[in-house]
Amino acid sequence: MNIRWKPSVTVAAVIERDGRFLLVEEHTAEGLRLNNPAGHLDPGESLVDAVARETLEETMHAFTPTALVGVYMSRFQRTGRDGAADEDITYLRFAYCGELGDVVPGRTLDTGIVRTLWMTPDEVRASASRHRSPLVLRCMEDHLAGQRHPLSVVFTDPTVTQALTPPR
């Protein structure tokens, strides 16, 4: 049997203001963890649209990406519970920095998000054992090092966001 392997595509926002980084504290199967505002790419959306959507859902703030910080891969293994099979997931993360806007009226934090918090780089480093992924720290360090790529480095063909015509 030939099975095609597919990594899970995710986006993350690396948001710095006044020397602090915006993180979210969220419930996970491994307990309460810290993460960048982040989530999965949904069908029919570009990566830039996905990071703006995920940031809004997890922080209640509008977000406008201005640069790609980097593209990252990581592997996560979780032991199965109650007879379930072990999970082995590879994530392909596109991390963006940009402008954080105001809180959007009427928004609430996404399910599972406990709170948002602003942390200094030293606080982020000191809390590494609570990070959802090692990529939280890596993305921050790359941002601090000035790593930026133009948004145009990732091209989204218009077919991605167009409605599909059903087969005849």
Residue with tokens 């087969």: 167
DSSP 35-52: E-SEEEPPTT--HHHHHH
Q: What is the pTM of this model?
A: 0.90
Asked whether residue 126 is assigned to any structural domain, the reply reads yes
Q: What is the pLDDT of residue 94?
A: 98
Q: Is residue 121 part of a domain?
A: yes
User: What's the number of domains the chain is made of?
Assistant: 1
67 in any annotated domain: yes
Is 162 a member of any domain? no
Q: What is the pLDDT of residue 10?
A: 97
pLDDT in tens, 25-75: 999 988 999 999 999 999 999 999 999 999 999 999 999 999 999 999 999
In this predicted structure, what is the pLDDT of residue 78? Answer: 76
Mean pLDDT value of segment 94-106: 97
In 21-167, which ranges are continuous DSSP H helix?
47-59, 121-126, 135-144
Rounded distance between C-alpha atoms, residue 91 and residue 8, angstroms: 5
* Domain assignment of residue 71, given as a range: 8-79+87-153
Q: Residue 128 is part of a domain; what is its CATH number?
A: 3.90.79.10
